[in-house]
Structure 1
């Protein structure tokens, strides 16, 4: 099973690599394509939007045609997007490459969540989802630094050629190693299953646990979006110092995720949901306390921001695995569609939550604190709902 999870992990990394690898090169890309930085920065939002909404289409395809074919198609499309980005000669061409890669990640993401649900459930599935989500945090920690170094020495197109090389390696692994895991009794549809979507979304259990992921994603997106303002413009960190602090938090989340996955089986998913909610609340209180209790001259200290953020990010590590497994557990015969909805709620809901927090006339730290508060409340609601879940599924044998 470990080999299967590491194979899925190789596909999981395609998503964050498609965003984080070129972040330091955005000014150079704008200059090279004779565009504004705002236009190139908008490609990140475009990627996330397509990635979230496209899963509604990818889900039925994964259930109808199988996990393996859609994974291969998605990786081929992703490779095409990387090549288009590397050879772009105009801003529209670069933006189009982000759309192409966003569509590709829709396919691989649904395959990943469906594959875990096909093979595992209960606490084992929670540990698997937590492992995949937690390991992702090494990408924001390392990718910007690696991408920046590549771009500095070889130009802004080089990171995309490096991404294309990684994609080829993943494609070979999937072609030769990824098994088909779709259950024989999987429900399929000839078109977009709007009634099926509506039925799943009307399930109070599903939406309660999927909303936890949206809250966690909203916290992460808001933190990442506002971190440069808080740490560089306000706290005065240099770009290198910012990369070190930002990367250290990524490794922290990965370490906490490893710990959370180890103890899920011992303490159970409800306890993890409660722990995650408490850590979110602690992060919120820490940010508010730093603003209200500390002297103005000391409020710019890096630790006053990063310690509460570290607490909330630890909460994220405890929440996403259990919440995902609870949300998907009743839908074993339609895991592709349900997985697509989980991904869409997570991405679209998180983006909406973050957008609202950042649009309010609040200082950045309070915006982050507000999303932490929302994430903690959603976690506690899910903890309460978990008491009504009867029975516990165990890992399915191959």
Structure 2
């Protein structure tokens, strides 16, 4: 088993970096990666019409982007640990810009799907390496606090993305959305050059294969079982909610599109607030304890959603209360779980970050697939997934052993 290595964290001031500019840069980079998922969602019907494809074909580009995002994290991690953070970030952004331009110039649905796969691979570089940069500069509870703050900002992306995409669509058409992403990628490259500090952890030029082997060592490190499993369980519930909620609320409960959008906006607001609360909580308690609090909240409201569906199937208000409670748990889970994984591997933080991100998204896809297979027109399948996720979270928080503390 790989042992925890001494931390290489250096104060920002020693690296000639201003705290606000640094955090703003990381927030921007993570937001661009997130907003690329849903900025063009309002344009799917227009894209299908313009390319003479079915909407289902264009929707496959969403899945291809997510597939690229998962695969890319597994690749950028070892590369970032081998040669440093900034160059892989810039390489990923070059792919992102090229794929955005390719999407804008596409003349078929197949081309869009292919370019979106490449776009996801490029975007994942900023996501995985931004988390690694946080670990380079912060450790333990400080890292959890910074990650929670960044996640609170990033949570605005799903809310603002479709609104901004709709505005661009009305003003300049669907191709302009991808040109906008290309410009955002160019701005991101400038941000990396100006605000992301040079990696000062000594690199020996070791072959990437060494870091690839580290994946096996990290994946089999029992100390990481709790943060990985708790974070993955939350993502399974989150993706299940995002997949099933349109049918549940707009069909079963007859919500208008506007009312459903308001529900999603409120859920996003809950995530933002809980992340900001967590950033303050970890000033007083450890991120490990805050993670346990999040798991408890998730379990209570996950099981609560089952009760709401079973006892009051026609009452949307009780179900919404349970769902919002589950969303709140994410503020205490995501940042703390990532910090818990990265804490043990300061010299392989990008590899650990890539594994963590890939596991989270794969669990999310599994949750989405499960609720889709079980869907029967009611909220029961979603509630079962949420309840299972909540129980899993709580079980794994009790598997942490007294000796599983990282070396500072």
Q: Is residue 276 of structure 1 aligned with residue 294 of structure 2?
A: yes
Residues 378 and 328 (structure 1), Cα distance of their counterparts in 2 relative to 1, 3 Å cut: farther
Q: 1:392 offset after TM fit, Å?
A: 6.5
Other-structure match for 1:285: 303
Render the CA deviation track for 1:213-267: whole Å, top value 9, x for unaligned: 2111111111111121112122222222222221122122111110111111212
Please identify, of 188-197 and 29-38, the stretch whose mean Cα deviation from structure 2 is larger. Answer: 188-197
Q: 1:60 aligns with which of 75, 78, 103?
A: 78
Distance 1:190 1:327, change over 3 A: closer
Q: Give the direction of change, closer, same or farther, for the CA distance of 1:28–1:99 in structure 2 (3 Å limit).
A: same
Give the Cα separation in 1 of the matches to 2:118 and 2:54: 21
Please give the residue correspondences for 1:379-394 in structure 2 after superposition, counting only pairs within 5 Å.
379-389=393-403, 391=405
User: Residues 190, 19 of structure 1: CA spacing in aligned structure 2 closer, same or farther, 3 A cutoff?
Assistant: closer
Is the Cα contact below 8 Å between 1:49 and 1:348 reproduced in 2?
no
Residue matched to 1:341: 355
Cross-structure match for 1:312: 326
Q: Is the 8 A contact 2:99 2:118 kept in 1?
A: yes
1:263 maps to which residue? 281
Q: Is the 8 A contact 1:205 1:385 kept in 2?
A: no
> What is the rounded CA distance, in whole Å, between the counterparts of 1:187 and 1:227 in structure 2?
48
Q: CA RMSD in A?
A: 2.1
**Could you tell me which residue of structure 2 aligns to residue 368 of structure 1?**
382
Distance 1:188 1:365 in 2: 51
Distance in 2 of aligned mates of 1:136 and 1:95: 25
Distance 1:80 1:389, change over 3 A: farther
Alpha-carbon distance in structure 2 between the residues aligned to 1:106 and 1:119? 20
The residue aligned with 2:339 is 325
Q: Give the superposition deviation at 1:115.
A: 0.4
Could you say which residue in structure 1 is the equivalent of 2:117?
99
Task: Give the equivalent residue in structure 2 for 1:73.
Answer: 91
Corresponding residue number in structure 1 for 2:216: 198
Alpha carbons 1:257, 1:317 under 8 Å: kept: yes
TM-score (norm 2): 0.89
Structure 1 residue runs of 4 or more that deviate by more than 4 Å after TM superposition: 361-364, 389-394
The 2-side partners of 1:332 and 1:186 are apart by 15
Q: Is it true that 1:6 corresponds to 2:6 in the alignment?
A: no
Please list the CA deviations of residues 123-175 of structure 1 after superposition, one character each: whole Å capped at 9, or x if unmatched.
01111222222322111112112212321332222222222222222221112
Q: How much has 1:117 moved relative to structure 2?
A: 1.1
1:111 matches 2:125: no
Q: Which residue of 2 aligns with 1:176?
A: 194
Between the two proteins, the alignment pairs up a number of residues equal to 390
Residues 305 and 386, structure 2, Cα contact 8 Å, conserved in 1? no
CA 1:188–1:215: 2 relative to 1, 3 Å: farther
Does structure 2 conserve the Cα–Cα contact (< 8 Å) formed by 1:319 and 1:379?
Answer: no
Pair 1:124 & 2:142 matched: yes
**Secondary structure in structure 1 of the residue aligned to 2:232:** helix
Q: Tell me the equivalent position of 2:373.
A: 359
Give the distance between the partners of 1:373 and 1:187, measured in 2 at CA: 46
Report the Cα offset of residue 101 of structure 1: 0.8
Range 104-113 or range 148-157, more displaced: 148-157
Structure 1 unaligned spans of 5+: none
State the 1:78 CA deviation. 0.9
Is residue 19–residue 44 contact of structure 1 (8 Å, CA) maintained in 2? Answer: yes
CA distance in 1, matches of 2:112, 2:33: 17
How do 1:205-216 residues align onto structure 2 when only pairs under 5 Å count? 205-216=223-234
Which 10-residue stretch deviates more, 91-100 or 361-370? 361-370
1:390 shift after superposition: 5.2
| Distance (whole Å) between structure 2 residues aligned to residue 386 and residue 108 of structure 1 | 30
Which has the higher mean CA deviation after the structures are superposed, 358-367 or 199-208? 358-367
Kept after mapping to 2: 8 A contact 1:324/1:342: yes
How do residues 130-149 of structure 1 correspond to structure 2 at under 5 angstroms?
130-149=148-167
TM-fit CA distance, 1:185:
5.5
1:242-253 equivalences under 5 Å are: 242-253=260-271
Q: CA deviation at 1:374?
A: 3.1
Q: Please give the secondary structure, in 2, of the residue aligned with 1:52.
A: helix
C-alpha deviation, 1:316, in angstroms: 0.9
Q: Is the CA contact 1:186–1:334 (under 8 Å) kept in the aligned structure 2?
A: no
